[in-house]
Structure 1
Amino acid sequence: MKPERLLVLDGSPAGEAACGTAACVTPSPEGGYTVLSHVSAAGKQAAEGIGLLAAEALQQVGWGAGQPVQPDLVAVVTGPGSFTGLRASCAMAAGYALGVGCPLVGVTRGEALRPQLDAECARYGDLDGWLLVTAARRGRVFVERADGVQAVALASWSALPGRWLVAGDAAASLPVAEPVFSDLTQPTASQIAEAAVARLTGQLAPRDALPLYVDPPEAKLPAAGLRSAPV
């Protein structure tokens, strides 16, 4: 049985695009999904405080704490994206799902946008595929394809041969020999919900609802190693 009330959380955007989003979504009788409430705020701090955005979105539709109606699925974007935003949104999603006793499903940005990206590629007919390029840190971008995701340094990236559909909030920054630019940048709450239900019902391969970290960590172990445990 497909869920009827979905709480969607996304804290993945990084860099200048950093933001947090929470939405309450339900299936539409005509197909697809209808957004009942949508709360978004810009900045890294918004992603870190995504719990407040979720509380507001739930309050607007009368779901959640103290209400007789609860979400029956929590969907969260697992990445790629902001280290802090992913950690905060995935933790919030896991805690809320556990509290109300509903399933938790994670999807990547590319998985949420894949039906639209595949449809655009099909319209051209002669493309090598699609690239979803999103902002990272310090001269880097995340590049997601249908077969996976990587973080790349723009300074060392060689122009990719072939003809590709290039989407995402950092699409123009990635050298591609013959780019075809898409207007698609960030998945909507409806698109995230659709991908989450596809995963829940087995149409997408299983994936843990954990942050998808592809950028190397900035912190390094001390040369002398960690201190011994206190006694």
Structure 2
Amino acid sequence: MAACLIPSEGGEYRVLAHVRAEGKQAAEGIGLLAAQALHQAGWGAGQPVQPDLVAVVTGPGSFTGLRASCAMAAGYALGAGCPLVGVTRGEALRPPLEEDCARHEGLEGWLLVTAARRGRVFVERAGGVQAVALADWSPLPGRWLVAGEAAALLPVAEAVFSDLAQPTPCQIAAAAVARLNGELAPRDALPLYVDPPEAKLPMSGLRSAPV
């Protein structure tokens, strides 16, 4: 997904262009999606309008998707000469998640559950994010609001389910501006890798640098 937005009245945002793709090839085409969104909005190279801020969702998610998105965003922000800000899915969805929590008494907080591979999910809450093997998951005490595309996979006693799953462009923009203004704790616009790297260094070490 790529979008171009401008501030609107009341602290809201208005979407000028929004391009979306699904499937495994979407990560490889993120640069094309961004170019299409910029073209639709009339922004970019050779145009009188350039963005004031580039925002990117840093995760949690797949290694390839996060790496491609963050690299593209960093390159474009450098070329446009504007700040780059990264936000997580939970940070972008936090205001509506907290609103959902407020509608129910006695909740401990919210859990945003994203699908992962090999029988695992990513669980994000206000305090951070972790990768969880479903077979080893120990339910948290108390009642929780559970959201996200994989919410039904996570065993949570007395769960209150929310329909929230993916942040909208406006929610991402609001979180990014909040971080830029110091309202959210600093976070580098780098991929949020929850798991350790699957690739390991060779036992004999790396090859020597070419001469």
When normalised by structure 2's length, the TM-score is 0.96
Task: Supply the AA of the counterpart residue of 2:159.
Answer: P
Runs of 5+ unmatched residues, structure 1: 1-20
2:208 and 2:46 map into 1 onto residues whose CA distance is 47
- Residue 9 of structure 1: aligned partner: none
Deviations 1:20-63 (A, max 9, x none): x0000111124311111100000121122201000000100100
Using the aligned pairs only, state the percent identity. 83
CA distance in 2, matches of 1:91, 1:226: 25
Q: Distance in 2 between the 1:229 and 1:34 partners?
A: 50
Q: Is the 8 A contact 1:135 1:141 kept in 2?
A: yes
1:165 aligns with 2:145: yes
- Alpha-carbon RMSD: 1.2
Matched residue, 1:206: 186
For 1:158 and 1:206, the matched residues in 2 are separated by 30
- State the Cα distance separating 1:159 from its structure 2 match: 2.7
- Cα deviation, 1:65-114, whole Å, max 9, x if unaligned, reads 11111111000001111111110010100100000101111000000000
- The residue aligned with 1:217 is 197
User: Which of 136, 139, 143 pairs up with 2:119?
Assistant: 139
Distance 1:51 1:99 in 2: 14
Q: Distance in 2 between matches of 1:110 and 1:173?
A: 18
Q: Is the 8 A contact 1:160 1:175 kept in 2?
A: no
Given residue 84 of structure 1, which amino acid in structure 2 is its aligned partner? T
* Structure holding more strand per residue: 1
Structure 2: distance between partners of 1:146 and 1:166: 12
Alignment partner of 1:52 is 2:32: yes
Q: Secondary structure at the match of 2:164?
A: coil
Tell me whether 1:38 sits opposite 2:18 in the alignment. Answer: yes
